[in-house]
């Protein structure tokens, strides 16, 4: 008896539903993928990339980790960006955070959770960099603000990778975006730090640094 039989049942029903609409969907998709988007999001179970933007399999290339971090020495994330940009030629990379992020909360409250504290140290770096901005917010608004600032910083990190800078140097059409998702209403918000070249990236960076709160 397979204790996870219900998941296989759901899988068969899901595949049948898609085949009903498009009989050759899976056969066609098995031959190639041509997604236009790379989604870098949080591993949180409540933030599933495809579903949120209503895309079927094949629509979005996805990298997820706790607190949607883009670290310059993380070969996993960097490889994903490189493959998406240079091989799949995606046109957009979106870093997507979410309000109420457990990773960001743990970082803000300096909770001790074990190994993951080392990973979340990167969020604490964001916190320290923007301490003045954060402290200008009331206590109950600081978590939401840090979730937003973390997205902004990670989007900048994407833009600073050798892969993205190389693509821009070659004139490849590629835009980096920073978005945030609201668990309480299912809606995405654009944080308006989108950049299609290094100058736009720097301008967005300067705008955020100059924000009053």
> If binding is defined by CB under 5 A, does position 153 make contact with Co ion?
no
d(CA 15, CA 110): 43
Nearest to 65 by CA among 144, 165, 186, 154: 154
Q: Which residue in 60, 101, 127, 163 binds Co ion (CB under 5 A)? A: 101
Beta carbon of residue 97, minimum distance to Co ion (angstroms, whole number) = 7
The stretch among 17-25, 82-90, 101-109, 143-151 that binds Co ion (CB under 5 A) is 101-109
Per DSSP (E only), the strands in the chain are 37-42, 60-65, 92-98, 175-182, 187-190
**What is the dihedral angle through the alpha carbons of 68, 128, 213, 156, rounded to the nearest 10 degrees?**
-40
> If binding is defined by CB under 5 A, does position 78 make contact with Co ion?
no
> If binding is defined by CB under 5 A, does position 148 make contact with Co ion?
no
Beta carbon of residue 106, minimum distance to Co ion (angstroms, whole number) = 10
- CB closer to Co ion, 38 vs 42: 42
- CB closer to Co ion, 101 vs 159: 101
Q: What is the largest CA-CA distance in the chain?
A: 60
- CB closer to Co ion, 152 vs 164: 152
Q: How many residues bind Co ion (CB under 5 A)?
A: 3
DSSP character at residue 34: -
Interface residue list for Co ion (CB under 5 A): 42, 44, 101
């Amino acid at each position: 008896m397979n204790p996870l039989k219900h998941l296989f049942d759901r899988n068969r029903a899901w595949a049948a539903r898609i085949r009903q609409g498009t009989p050759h969907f899976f056969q066609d998709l098995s031959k190639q993928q041509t997604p236009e988007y790379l989604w870098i999001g949080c591993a949180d179970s409540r933030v599933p990339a495809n579903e949120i933007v209503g895309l079927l399999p094949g629509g979005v290339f996805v990298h997820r980790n706790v607190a949607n971090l883009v670290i310059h020495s993380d070969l996993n994330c960097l490889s994903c960006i490189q493959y998406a940009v240079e091989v799949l030629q995606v046109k957009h990379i979106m870093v997507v955070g979410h309000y109420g992020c457990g990773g960001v909360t743990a970082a803000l409250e300096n909770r001790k959770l074990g190994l993951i504290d080392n990973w979340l140290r990167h969020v604490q770096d964001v916190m320290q960099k923007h301490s003045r901005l954060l402290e200008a917010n009331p206590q109950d608004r600081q978590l939401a603000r840090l979730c937003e600032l973390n997205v902004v910083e990670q989007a900048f990190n994407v833009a600073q990778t050798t892969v993205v800078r190389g693509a821009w140097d070659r004139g490849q059409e590629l835009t980096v975006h920073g978005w945030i998702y609201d668990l309480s209403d299912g809606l995405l918000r654009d944080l308006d730090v989108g950049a299609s070249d290094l100058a736009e990236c720097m301008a967005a960076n300067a705008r955020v640094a100059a924000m009053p709160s």
